[in-house]
Amino acid sequence: MSSRLVLLPDAGPLITLAYADALDLLFKPRWSVMLVDMVLHEVTRNQTPTSKKLAKWAKSKKLPLVATRTFQHYQQVQGEKAARKANLGELAIQEAMNAFAIEQPPKTGVFLFEDHKIARASFLVPDNCRKVSTRAFLIFLEQKGWLESAAEVERRALLAGRTFSSLRFPP
């Protein structure tokens, strides 16, 4: 397993893979997998069809948590009327990737996302990091022979009730 290459999944891909009963696909490339504290909180804080499954999976896999100032701030202001909640997972992942960039040697972060807004240039990542959509990741696994069918994983998630971005990457 490459400790210099780290997969950082956002909430969307975690939820989609949980719906498809395919969370362990994150380990197929044999990269390190870490969860950003804010993202784990986002996917487990409310009772959802996948929240318990995700909490149990993260605990059973003993996934390292990346601590962020974003989550620390969220905890401090939680309950305040004007407290920001939107896009905090993405901000926390961006914070983690920026920290990877200044390590010596720098880690390469692979940000796994699902929200099509993140695909735009406004979501900047350091040169040592990459952003990859859920669909592109599944296609990558299929092309490598680590997954029989990317479309089947997507189909299982959809049949289980998951709806996600219709924008496809790569084109």
Domains of the chain: 2-159 (3.40.50)
pLDDT of residue 42: 93
Rounded CA gap, 158 and 59, in Å?
A: 25
Q: What is the pLDDT of residue 122?
A: 56
Name the CA dihedral angle for 88, 92, 98, 102, rounded to a multiple of 10 degrees. 150
Q: What span, in angstroms and rounded, lies between the C-alpha atoms of 90 and 125?
A: 11
- What pLDDT was estimated at residue 164? 65
127-159: pLDDT as tens digits? 778 888 898 999 999 999 999 999 999 999 999
Q: Residue 137 has what pLDDT?
A: 95
- pLDDT of 170 above 60: no
Q: How confident is the model at residue 171 (pLDDT cuts 50, 70, 90)?
A: very low
Q: What is the pLDDT of residue 128?
A: 78
Answer for the pair 60, 30: CB distance below 8 angstroms, yes or no: no
pLDDT tens digits, one per residue of 21-79: 999 999 999 999 999 999 999 999 989 999 999 999 999 999 999 999 999 999 888 76
Burial of 168 (0-12, 13-18, 19+ CB in 10 A): exposed
Per-residue pLDDT tens for 71-130? 999 988 876 665 667 778 888 998 998 888 888 888 888 989 886 655 554 566 777 788
pLDDT-derived band at 169, boundaries 50, 70, 90: very low
Looking at residue 117, its pLDDT comes to 55
State how far the Cα of 73 lies from the Cα of 64, in Å rounded to an integer. Answer: 20
- Tell me the one-letter amino acid at 140: F
CA distance 73 to 78: 8
